[in-house]
Structure 1
């Protein structure tokens, strides 16, 4: 049996969180909307749905190369539908307490969702809006490019290498790595293990954030 990689053994200036699948679960809502859309376009819904996570909506649609389909218009339609359907969205276990323990201005959410959708889902999950929220429209290149996480660090006023990322997808982990950041992968929504060598946690129930005497952040497993 492969040993679970240890949590990063160092201190950080800030924590950056992906949203969907990382601090909240919106799988039911997202798959309802995307499933209806995919069926309407004659796609194999079961095969298509696993491909929607971790990337921007427009990029997911564009990759399909469907004839006669405008990715920008379709992405706007899907986003509107997702904003209206927030039933079943919940915070991942322990996420609210973990985030509440962090100093204000020392954490951000970096998501591939459009801002309006991100704000709707964060509210539906009962989580606080951070001082810094990087959304899909804030960068030209989304994950797995490093741009979203680099922008999050810049808005917080910290160096990229001093940030710790919490993610749930390979696209997100690649984005963090390209930005020079350490990561932890949250696995509670995974149907299958990710092929990655970063530290993994099921959720936040057994984690705690410690603020050191010099004001840095450290993450530990609870004893």
Structure 2
């Protein structure tokens, strides 16, 4: 969300409904929620006397299903479709804080190319900002994290990429978080979309990425 597909409006709309139902401050919850798995957010904000119930797979699926089915306001980040069609299937992965059901659903809804490697919060229980997801994605591609480039729109995801020792962590300034927060988290450089980049697959299999000059 916010990197290939922008569903910020959808996510915020459903968290606002949840906050109103549970008398939780929406502004406080949303200020730290972007890029984090639902389980992590619930663990922080759910009523303490019902926490065990709220952390069950059944409750989390019930929480995420309406979000996964909602497409109102969903936007494909410019250049994302072209990038995924261009990259060889052995060269990229998606690491997301969404559950597997939701992630697969978004690719179907947008008709974006399905990732050859998909790492979701269903498989990774220590979510962003910890590096587990990116380390797993690199391993499944047969690569070292140091040979990978990360694109992230949220501070928690950027910190995860930095912690995984990715070669470069691009910050996607798509509105999820202020540009200053992306920089503070460790993103360098910052881009608006994939249209800001020239990307070329070299003969030896490596990928060359450069910023377009104005």
TM (norm. structure 1) is: 0.85
Residue by residue over 1:100-127, the C-alpha shift from the partner in whole angstroms, topping out at 9 and shown as x without a partner, is 2211221010001000011112222331
* Matched residues, number: 204
Matched, 1:130 2:111: no
Matched, 1:71 2:81: no
Q: Is the 8 A contact 1:108 1:133 kept in 2?
A: yes
Residue by residue over 1:75-121, the C-alpha shift from the partner in whole angstroms, topping out at 9 and shown as x without a partner, is 32221121221222121111111222211221010001000011112
How does 1:151-170 map onto structure 2 within 5 Å? 151-170=136-155
What does residue 186 of structure 1 align with? 172
* Aligned equivalents of 1:213, 1:72: Cα separation in 2: 48
Q: 1:219 aligned to 193, 201, 209, which one?
A: 209
What does residue 21 of structure 2 align with? 40
* Aligned equivalents of 1:68, 1:174: Cα separation in 2: 32
- Structure with greater contact order relative to length (CA < 8 Å, sep ≥ 6): 1
Deviates more, 1:110-119 or 1:82-91: 82-91
TM (norm. structure 2) is: 0.88
RMSD: 1.6
Deviates more, 1:181-190 or 1:40-49: 40-49
Q: Which has the higher helix share?
A: 2
SS in 2 for 1:87: coil
Structure 1 stretches of 5 or more lacking a match? 1-19
Q: Is the 8 A contact 1:153 1:163 kept in 2?
A: yes
Structure 2 stretches of 5 or more lacking a match? none
* Aligned equivalents of 1:37, 1:140: Cα separation in 2: 22
What does residue 98 of structure 1 align with? 83
* Aligned equivalents of 1:165, 1:57: Cα separation in 2: 22
